[in-house]
Amino acid sequence: MSRGRGAASAEGTRKLGLVVHPITRAPAAAAVVLSTMWALMPSPAGETPAETKLTPVALAAPVVAAAQKADSFQFPLPTWKPHCLGFGSQWRLCDGTILRRCAATGAIWLHTGVDIRTGIQPVMAAANVGYIVDPVFKGGVLIKHQTAEGVVLTQYWHVWPRAGFRPGKVVTKGQVFADIANMGSRTHLHFAVFRGDYQANAWRGALPPSPCDGFPAFPNRFVNATAFIKAHLAPTLPKPAAPPTHHCRSDPMGG
């Protein structure tokens, strides 16, 4: 179902995307600069693969926000029911239609995230503090997380960011920042995890099995999103032990 680079909007139109680049760092704060970019993305309705070319055209003012390291992650939806496309699946529609091949070899691209069955419902940030990267585009969002293991980006496709969420906005783990976009019978969430700081390929919903057409080989820096979240869930606190049950008995001697 997911093409990972689509968006809930008119097919074939150009969308405005915003990319976050950190420039300074302090113990309790991080400064970011937003670079405005154009991105040509296929519509989820047509699901037609297209080149994504990112060219800086403007520079926004720096945004400074409190930033803490993400110490754990969670799933962005309350239920997690995978669809036909998972991590490493061939990039096809559920009916088998191939979405992209390498021009020279005909190799079918591989899916970098996981598609989740869902209706229209709220979408939560997967980790404790990140930066909304692309709500102006209204279709694809990256959230950047500083972790003890380095920078991690979580990728959300086919969502509509809620009012007030813009590039540079700090979000907390579990905070609702968007809603699933209505794609009719194809309504779903594409979710992916990218290990590393921002680069153009962090937007990819699929990559070729070996380098072709100017794109790096799958998985590049993507990891199995479901496995990653499961491995980074907050530890479950043990339930307190039940107090001992005392049985009173009468002493016939009055003791």
Write out pLDDT tens, residues 150-205.
999 999 999 999 998 888 888 999 999 999 999 999 999 999 999 999 999 999 99
Predicted local distance difference test score (pLDDT) of residue 42: 32
Q: Are 155 and 191 in contact (CB under 8 A)?
A: yes
| 3-state secondary structure at position 156 | strand
* Beta-carbon count within 10 A of 46 CB: 13
Predicted local distance difference test score (pLDDT) of residue 64: 34
- Spatial separation of the C-alpha atoms in residues 186 and 110, rounded to whole Å: 19
Percent of the chain with pLDDT over 90: 54
Question: Given pLDDT bands bounded at 50, 70 and 90, which one contains residue 132?
Answer: confident
148 or 87, which is more confident = 87
Q: Which of 4-18, 82-96, 195-209 has the lowest mean pLDDT?
A: 4-18
Average pLDDT of the segment spanning 87-112:
97
Burial class for 82, CB neighbours closer than 10 Å (0-12, 13-18, 19+): middle
Q: Are 93 and 155 in contact (CB under 8 A)?
A: no
Predicted local distance difference test score (pLDDT) of residue 161: 92
- Residue 190 falls in which region: left (phi positive, over 0), alpha (psi -120 to 50) or beta: beta
Count helices and strands in the chain by DSSP H and E runs: 1, 16
Q: Are 132 and 166 in contact (CB under 8 A)?
A: yes
Which residue(s) pair with 182 in the sheet? none
Predicted local distance difference test score (pLDDT) of residue 134: 74
Amino acid at 184: G
* Beta-carbon count within 10 A of 51 CB: 11
- Spatial separation of the C-alpha atoms in residues 210 and 218, rounded to whole Å: 7
Structure tokens belonging to residue 132 = 């909304």
